[in-house]
Amino acid sequence: MTLERRSFLTLFGAGAGAATLGMAGCASQPGSGGGRKVVVVGGGYGGTIAAKYIRMMDKSIEVTLIERNDHFVSCPFSNLVLGGMMPDLSKLTIKYDKLAANHGIKVVQAEVTGVDAAAHTVTTSKGVFAYDRLVLSPGIEFRTDEIKGFDENVTPHAWKAGPQTLLLKKQLEAMKPGENVIISIPVAPFRCPPGPYERASMIAMFLKEHKPGSKVIVLDGNPDIVSKKGLFLKGWKKHYDGIVDYRPAKKVTEVVPGAVLVEGIEEVKGAVINVIPPQKAGHIAHVAGVVGPDKKWCPVNPMTFESTIHKDIHVIGDSSIAGAMPKSGYSANSEAKVCATNIVALMNGNEITELSAINTCYSYLSRKEAVSVTGVYRVNKEKHVIEPVPGSVGVSPDLSETEAVYAESWLRNILTEMST
Amino acid sequence: MQMNKWSGLALAAGALALSASVHAAPPTAAMLSNACAGCHGTHGGSAGPSMPSLASQSKTAIVEAMKKFKSGERPSTVMGRLAKGYTDADFAAMGEFFSKQKFHPTTQMVDAAKAKKGASLQEANCSRCHLDEGKDGKDDTPVMASQWLPYLQMQMGLYQSGARKMPEKMAEKVKPLSKEELDALIHFYASQK
């Protein structure tokens, strides 16, 4: 404990840069004994789990989790706040103290400003951290340059849960009955494929209960509903007929006062405008130089999640290109465990293990009904990509009250796993 | 120029990554089972009231449950679909993994009077299979102790509607019991740590 604290403190001292560099160089020999270090950046669905499982599997590896906030707010279930099913974000918020104490993870609240892949260092607002292996789980960043006039303070995206969720909720509450809401959905891939359609359902529920005569106009940049299509259409017809106005192949390119423009031409007016901009890997992935030639997402080895661009940097969660696995919270959780397992193997000079991963994701259609999508994933060794196991990918046969009950437990379990 | 240098690097790293992964071992029991923990809790200790704890379950009980989910014999929501992603050998590995995990006690609000009544009912009716107050999972008998009330209630509901089939020996014991007696049994098992 004392030893850990001391080495931790040296990172902050004057002239620590040289010392840490030396340490990194020395410690990067696999199996060289003590002082082996993993730095994890991002305390969300992926990062917390990667940090925890590395420590559970090998206590001799020091793990530092760097996160800019002192808490994390879950995006999954944040649509329920908009629908009025959750009064606030408290059930979606976790802290890091128990995780840190239970597993001996050093949690540092700091902003990452640089990653030096060659020197194996991460520069932050609280000093320089050396690593043998770095795990990046930075979520998403928005390609706001593709939406002219976008200002998140005026037309919130609410696609990172927190103040943005509450701002959109406030706008919904303030609108007059009979006025319309617009949701603009970006072209896939984006974080949480069924999320925008769940949001349409939750906002429609709110309008039905509180704003008679109001509609939610869904402008989808995609040619069709991206996920759970049949179930959303069924739910909208059952509960929100005439309230959800779904319009496919309507790519929003500009925000003007009180309206959006589709492809720069067709104006659609709304009192509340929720623009979910197109997305790319989180900012830190760009800083670290692990974003691929598409300039959006990070190519990785499908077994270890090690970047194919920079050695010893692993990218998990929404930022990574994980083959057929969707950009979901559960995917990030599952990817983190695979990544942790193989980081521990690599750092001990052991053989890595093939990926076996799961996605399970619920969406609410009404107060009492939810639907799910599932998948079990393995690596196709010939194609070297993550693929679903045939038969395991599927959606609920119908809207289900039982699934809404299970969904709540999903949230309880996954947030508990991340925070303890 | 910049692009060329960059893609050269990517290629080199890609080749390296490719060669490393060729030597990967098939998924271990831990690799298979850790993926379940998002819903069933770390090492199978559930914090979600409608999800069962898998920690310390009997291996056979888990294997049997997964096979029945896969065939559709046992009703489910997501489990039937997920089970199709695994082989019998995978089920055995997962069963082995979870059977070795430490028992997961839960703290939940139970009705003490019901639990007391349930204790004698369990002793008289269930204790020959559900050993040690439901703490010991033997053969295909699952660990009942400390499972969440909502989970136990949901499963008993499925048994009673006929959607989930009871083993013959269980049916013999359960059928004569009243709704109140079954409720008492559930409170007893939930209270056990």
For residue A374, give the nearest of B10, B14, B82 by CB distance: B82
Domain A2-68+110-141+280-351 matches domain A148-277 at the CATH topology level:
yes
**Greater pLDDT, B10 or A136:** A136
pLDDT of residue A211: 98
- Asked if A396 has any chain B CB less than 8 Å from its own CB, the reply is yes
In B, minimum Cα distance to A356 occurs at B32
Judge: A392–B82 Cβ closer than 8 Å, yes or no.
yes
Judge: A405–B150 Cβ closer than 8 Å, yes or no.
yes
Q: Which fold has domain A2-68+110-141+280-351?
A: FAD/NAD(P)-binding domain (3.50.50)
**What digits encode the pLDDT tens for the residues A205-219?**
999 999 999 999 999
Q: What are the structural domain ranges in chain A? A: 2-68+110-141+280-351, 148-277
CATH number of A148-277: 3.50.50.60
- Residues of chain B contacting A372 with CB distance shorter than 8 Å: 77-78
For residue A356, give the nearest of B13, B27, B81 by CB distance: B27
Residue B106 lies in a domain: yes
Q: How far apart are CA A62 and CA A24, in angstroms?
A: 12
pLDDT of residue B137: 87
pLDDT of residue B22: 56
- Residues of chain B contacting A393 with CB distance shorter than 8 Å: 81
**What digits encode the pLDDT tens for the residues A303-362?**
999 999 999 999 999 999 999 999 999 999 999 999 999 999 999 999 999 999 999 999
Residues 6+ apart with CB under 8 A from B56: B44, B98, B99, B101, B102, B103, B104, B137, B143
Residue B21 lies in a domain: no
Q: How far apart are CA B64 and CA B68, in angstroms?
A: 6
Judge: A411–B50 Cβ closer than 8 Å, yes or no.
no
Judge: B27–A378 Cβ closer than 8 Å, yes or no.
yes
- Asked if B69 has any chain A CB less than 8 Å from its own CB, the reply is no
**What domain range includes position B89?**
47-191
Distances A40 to A8, A15, A130, A309, A347 between C-alpha atoms, Å: 15, 23, 11, 18, 15
Over residues A259-277, mean pLDDT: 98
Residue B2 lies in a domain: no
**What digits encode the pLDDT tens for the residues A151-178?**
999 999 999 999 999 999 999 999 999 9
What percentage of chain B carries pLDDT values higher than 70?
89
Q: How far apart are CA A365 and CA B49, in angstroms?
A: 21
pLDDT of residue A238 exceeding 80: yes
- Residues of chain A contacting B51 with CB distance shorter than 8 Å: 406, 409-410, 413
For residue B38, give the nearest of A306, A394, A413 by CB distance: A413
pTM metric for this prediction: 0.91
AA identity, residue A36: R
What interface predicted TM-score (ipTM) does this complex get?
0.90
Judge: B51–A416 Cβ closer than 8 Å, yes or no.
no
Confidence of residue B138 (pLDDT cuts 50, 70, 90): confident
- Residues of chain A contacting B38 with CB distance shorter than 8 Å: 330, 333-334, 358, 360, 410, 413-414, 417
Residue B82 lies in a domain: yes
Chain A, 162 to 201: residues with Cβ < 8 Å from chain B are: none
AA identity, residue A225: I
Residue B22 lies in a domain: no
Gap from B76 CA to chain A (nearest CA, Å)? 9
Judge: B85–A376 Cβ closer than 8 Å, yes or no.
yes
Q: How far apart are CA A334 and CA A64, in angstroms?
A: 20
pLDDT of residue A108: 98
- Residues of chain B contacting A396 with CB distance shorter than 8 Å: 77
Residues 6+ apart with CB under 8 A from B60: B95, B139, B140
For residue A308, give the nearest of B10, B78, B86 by CB distance: B10
How many angstroms from the chain centroid is the CA of residue A414? 13
Q: What are B155-161's contacts with CB under 8 Å, separation 24+?
A: B156/B182, B156/B186, B158/B75
The structural domain count of chain B equals 1
For residue A301, give the nearest of B17, B41, B90 by CB distance: B17
Taking alpha carbons only, the member of B117, B119, B137, B132 closest to residue B180 is B117
Mutate to test the interface with A, among B4, B21, B32, B36 (most CBs of A within 10 A): B21
Judge: A293–B10 Cβ closer than 8 Å, yes or no.
yes
- Residues of chain A contacting B37 with CB distance shorter than 8 Å: 337, 413, 417
Could you tell me the CATH number of the domain that includes residue B92?
1.10.760.10
**What digits encode the pLDDT tens for the residues A51-79?**
999 999 999 999 999 999 999 999 999 99
- Asked if A331 has any chain B CB less than 8 Å from its own CB, the reply is no
- Under DSSP, is residue A23 helix (H, G, I), strand (E, B) or coil? helix
- Asked if A394 has any chain B CB less than 8 Å from its own CB, the reply is yes
Chain B, 79 to 108: residues with Cβ < 8 Å from chain A are: 81-82, 84-86, 90
Beta partners for A321? A299
Judge: B50–A352 Cβ closer than 8 Å, yes or no.
no
Residue B25 lies in a domain: no
Gap from A368 CA to chain B (nearest CA, Å)? 15
Residue B62 lies in a domain: yes
